Amino acid sequence: MIHEALTELDIYLRLAILEPGLRSRARALSEFATERIRAGDQTVVALAGATGSGKSSLFNALSGTKLAAVAARRPTTSKPLALSFSATNGPLLNLLKITRRYEAIPPTPALADVVLLDLPDHDSTHLAHREEVDRLLQVIDQFVFVVDPQKYADAALHQRYLRPLAAHRDVISVVLNHADTITGGEPLTDEDGGWHPELGVVVEDLRRILYDDGLGDIPVFATNAVDGTGIDELRGHIAGIATEKRATRMRLGADLYNLMDEFHAAGGLPASVADDDVAALRDEVAGAAGVQRMAQSVRKAVQRRGAMLAARSGGAPQALELPAHQVASAADDARAATAVRRFVGAATSNLPAHWRDEARARITASTSERLGARIDTVMRGVDLGDLETPIGWGLVRILKWLPVVVLVACGGWLVFEVVWGSGEIAPRLVTIVVAALAGSLGISWLGDWLLRVGARRAERRTARLLRAAVDAEVSAAVVTPVAAELEAHQRAESALQRMTGILTRG
């Protein structure tokens, strides 16, 4: 189970953009959990308590040894002490950074796979002692908090340790030690197994406080470490946990659940790039880049150069080019940058806050400063083709000579009439001349019309090619990176959901 959950966690961490602190904690937990599972199934049980709670005495009573130093008032445990009831698991204790290591014969065979720890006092006057307790409480499989009748309600214990560990209730138990001081030396329980009346009042008050801590259902024991009363029950509890060999996985599972809660608290909802938003972005950038303005310039150039083409009889076709001046002004660049920021902001609005802010900054920073230059480059790299002869231009070239032929024929006719004929100008000749002149004007208009048609066609083709180039650059520079962020978020959320399912199944 833990292996599968860690696999999904690694997938999530590869995809998600998290706050540095959260990422660091998640990575540390992933690495520790991997090493802890690899270290074996031994159950590490730590006794934690305040000064004078009898924690070390309880350690000796549980283990049947006298390894833990005992004192009534001052702290005697400066470094954690580890007692293995089987061969010392070096990799495990190395992982926990525990150097004081001992081995002993288990007081009961069921404790053979237990490693018992005696921790420094959590209220020690030495900062290093408290820090060591805090460190080990983050990694130990099972906690046994030892309290005494005078300090069981100590706010420092509950607020600093027990309450924050409420999510780990399955790996916590509490022992009320020195219980004989409540009963005045009388047995802790009666013949029916019920608590001594005065002890029962204290135990119920302790349970009430634990309930307020979110730990109302954890096991509570009462012991007298001096004469061994209640020790067998506590040993049985620890042995039961060790026999099930689930303590490590329960602890790591609780840690992973807490981590998932932090991931969920970061927020975030599924999202995708809207087609309408993409279309609006492309329209804005194309407008800012001057696609239509460039197309109109090409139309005018075609008309001018088409007039020259009309005057020549042949030669290789000339290539069309964009005007030499800049494609877009600074104001147009600002317009494009604003469109990019608007699009990125809307598309990433459902991402978790830190992920959203970093994605926006990264994408807009990489496009805003260079987008105008990149658009200019791709537009100038478009092959607009050659200046083509307008459709029907060959026919117009033939027809434009017809009025000339007619006028020459009329001139010859006129000479003939004057020299050899009657000398009178026939009305039909005048009509023919007028018709020839009118035809010349009509053919000229037809040529101009065909030139305008060709120029408009070049304008539309240019606009289409430039728009395609601009759209492709916008997709590569903006739309694709945003879509990749949203896809990464969806994949990360899927990994998180799979991780939740694995841990829920247990």
Give all strands of the β-sheet with 142-147 in edge-to-edge order. 100-103, 81-84, 114-118, 43-49, 142-147, 172-176, 220-222
The whole-number pLDDT of residue 404 equals: 61
The whole-number pLDDT of residue 311 equals: 45
DSSP string, 94-135: HHHT--EEEE---SSGGGTTEEEEEPPPTT-SSHHHHHHHHH
Tokens 């540390």, residue located: 28
Give every CB contact of residue 148 below 8 A, 6+ residues apart in sequence.
50, 52, 53, 54, 176, 177, 178
For the chain, which residues make up each domain, given as ranges? 1-41+247-266, 42-244, 275-505
Token pair, residue 373, equals: 């230059």
**127-138: burial string, b at 16+ Cβ within 10 Å, e else:** eebbebbeebbe
- What one-letter code names the amino acid at 48? A
The DSSP bridge pattern shows strands 172-176 and 43-49 to be unpaired
Q: Which of 14, 15, 23 is nearest to 486 (CA)?
A: 15
**Top CATH class, 42-244:** alpha beta
The whole-number pLDDT of residue 441 equals: 66
The whole-number pLDDT of residue 422 equals: 57
What is each CA distance from 292 to 323, 385, 386, 406, in whole angstroms?
A: 13, 17, 19, 45
Report the C-alpha gap between 19 and 28 in whole angstroms: 14
The whole-number pLDDT of residue 201 equals: 94
The whole-number pLDDT of residue 308 equals: 47
Query: What values do phi and psi take at 82, rounded to 5?
Result: -115, 130
Residue ranges for the chain with pLDDT beneath 70:
69-77, 303-330, 368-370, 383-451, 506
Secondary structure E strands in 43-91: 43-49, 81-84
The whole-number pLDDT of residue 304 equals: 67
Contact 414, 347 (CB under 8 A): no
Q: Which of 223, 233, 212, 220 is nearest to 162 (CA)?
A: 212
Report the C-alpha gap between 173 and 168 in whole angstroms: 10
Q: Is-above-0.95 flag for pTM? A: no
